[in-house]
Chain A
Amino acid sequence: MSKTITIDGKTIPFEEGQTIMDAASAAGVYIPHLCHHPDYSPHGSCKLCNVSVNGRICSSCTFPAMDGQTVLSDTHELNEDRRRITQMLFVEGNHLCPGCEKSGNCQLQAVGYHLNMLDNHFPHFYASREMDASHPDVLIDHNRCIFCTLCVRASQQADGKDVFAISGRGINKHLIVNSQSGLLKDTDFEATDNAAHICPTGAILAKRQGFRVPIGRRTYDHKEIDQVSLAESGYRPNTTLIAETEQSQYDE
């Protein structure tokens, strides 16, 4: 008999070695997250995927699934915490969706919508952060970095390079580039690197591509992040018909 956990009362099977996040995604249960990506080792830093496991709060992306766990995720309290965390991310950097080319394709924005975040709640920091436009093909806008380390991991684990790192602690935490000058142009970074396409916000962007995808055809224009995220994790629900109908409206 296979091992199972329950998430919000739903019984979910898992395989040995899977995290709660892995098991949930495979079963079509979305747990909000920003620093997690199924292709890379978990980091457990954004704390958006915090769930209650037998009454203890843990990061579901790092916590192993174990037989008989009672997991709570979609609760008022946990979603409230997630919304507060997301609001803090928004006020710490400069996430100005109206002028941002990532708008509509941005996970931070989509998570905000998913969590019904209607304002920033906290006072804005108005951080003053530099931009690194030195690389011919890729732009780093530090204003939009949420320190998820996905670019760090993608560069190391998928590209076999070591272009990015996180430096500083606490409120002084920031993304750095591993080159003598500190500039992206002085690394072996290329626009085709996985790390160039992994950023969940608009901090790392291919140059001169902004706004090419029209409104209506962007990732989150007609799908919420839970659908998109589960599809990316390999989950295939029996609702392809709906997706196709949706698509055909915009193909015309």
Chain B
Amino acid sequence: MYEHLETAKRTENLKRIVVDPVSRVEGHGKVTLMLDENNMVQQARLHIVEFRGFERFIQGRPYWELPVLVQRLCGICPVSHHLAAAKAIDQLVGVDPVNLPVTADKLRRLLHFGQVLQSHALHFFHLSSPDLLFGFESDINKRHIVAVLAEYPDIGVQGVMMRKYGQEVIQTICGKRVHGTGAIPGGMNKSLSTVERDNLLQNIDQIIDWSISSVELIKKVHCSNLPYYDDFATIRSNYLGLIKPDGALELYHGGIRAKNDKGETIIDHVDYCRYNSYIHEEVRSWTYMKFPYLLSLGQQNGWYRVGPLARVNNCDFINTPMAEAARLEFKAHSGEAMVHSTLAFHWARLIETLHCAESIKALLNDPDILGQDLLTQGEKRYEGIGVIEAPRGTLFHHYQIDENDIVTKANLIVSTTSNNMAMNESVRQVAAEYLSGRELTEPLLNNLEVAIRAYDPCLSCATHAVGKMPLQLELIDAEGNLIDKLIKHGNGQVERNCVS
């Protein structure tokens, strides 16, 4: 759609505008724009400028360390990494998800609902509400949570308290709010006591109430300026995520479903252990983040979006009543099979927040949650794959080990990576439709950040393209003639192209 803006035809005489860093997102990224003399945008890119390399340095470590090591990828959704890795190493000890003890399975789900709740609350209230409440081009001095707390104290405090509750769920199960321990191969390391359960139950009704009012708030914000919200940064895309066997929204375990922009099914209920046959990744030279795509649709058209919008779009229903009612209203507003509005990510995110709150209550009232049977074991295997719906979307962890229990290979496809192409498309859409031809000012540039922020990207989690970055080295003489060219391809192959 806006792909022609990925690389300008000629970069000579273009003005370069840099938004660095992109603020109020997790991790470090920057946006570069190339403008011609009439301020028309010729090139727009979102670059991820940090490099983490977890895939590489967990090689050589024993597999039971993985859930604890890889959760350090992130301070926002460590639990999702913890659990994706745990699901993978369950398989290494011969345990498939269906064979996990019921209590362990439910404790992990409770833990993950806490994680998604706190991450979604953090994103909406702390990171995005300043844009949504004060306006995208509002005074920069007001675009932060402190100003929200000052002007909308009720909303600000709700956000802080909802996030706190999610963190309390995590601390109760993992021993710490951030980077605790909980999931181990084949189960969990601690049961939930009655006292702990009752403590969490005390506040859950309040959290549900607040979740309802946040859905109302975003609906009001979205619908009060419907054409703008439906168009801003909006792109038509495919959507991918996990789904329950009955088609319900799922965050912990299920098959992969992908739909196209018209809502037609591309793949459905695919066993995620076979993800490699459906999804590949492409590396581009100007960013550390890879570009995944659906194999059947090819590199050009196979990119897809993940995360709250994808999940709420993809599912047939939500199995908690209030979130389901909110979903129906959400789907009805666009009149299309799929909601493509990028800013609708916020709406979908808060519907999920409500779903998490409702599900936490249901799980806390489930007698299984207090069970003591936490661990099981089967025959050792040498390969494990764990996939989960992290707050930001589908998260893949794939490990191979040797006979000594040491990790020999790791592949992580992190949610934000899946949204890479989409975020770039949204940046280009905003650049082309809202910025092109205008004198650029800071408030105008915030529009680019608003587009990126809608995806709630976690840039630090998503950067692992070690040694796969294609490089091109050109030798140019004083007259500007190309004399020699060296190309390193994504597969590591080096090619020398003598130009003469």
Contact = CB atoms under 8 A, between A and B. Distances in A.
Interface in A232-252: 252
A139 B63 CA distance: 12
B65 A210 contact: yes
A216 interface: yes
B381 interface: no
Interface in A195-252: 207-217, 252
A68 to B, nearest CB: 49
Given A98-B72, A212-B189, A215-B180, A131 B60 contact: yes
A209 B68 CA distance: 13
Given A99-B65, A131-B406, A133-B405, A213 B189 contact: yes
A178 B175 CA distance: 40
Given A131-B406, A133-B406, A214 B189 contact: yes
Contacts of B179: 98
A252 B370 CA distance: 12
A216 B182 CA distance: 12
Nearest to A252: B193
B174 A133 contact: no
Given A99-B68, A99-B69, A101-B64, A216 B189 contact: no
Contact of A208 (B69, B181, B185): B185
Interface in B141-191: 174-176, 179-182, 184-185, 189-190
B189 A134 contact: no
B378 interface: no
A146 to B, nearest CB: 20
Contacts of A213: 189
A13 to B, nearest CB: 42
A210 B175 contact: no
B62 interface: yes
Contacts of A252: 193-196
Interface string A113-138: 00000000000000000010110000
Contacts of A208: 64, 93, 185, 405
Contacts of A209: 64
B189 A207 contact: no
Nearest to B70: A99
A-B pairs, top 8 by smallest CB distance, nearest first, are A215-B175, A214-B190, A133-B404, A210-B64, A99-B69, A211-B181, A214-B189, A252-B193
Interface of B: 60, 62, 64-65, 67-69, 72, 93, 174-176, 179-182, 184-185, 189-190, 193-196, 404-406
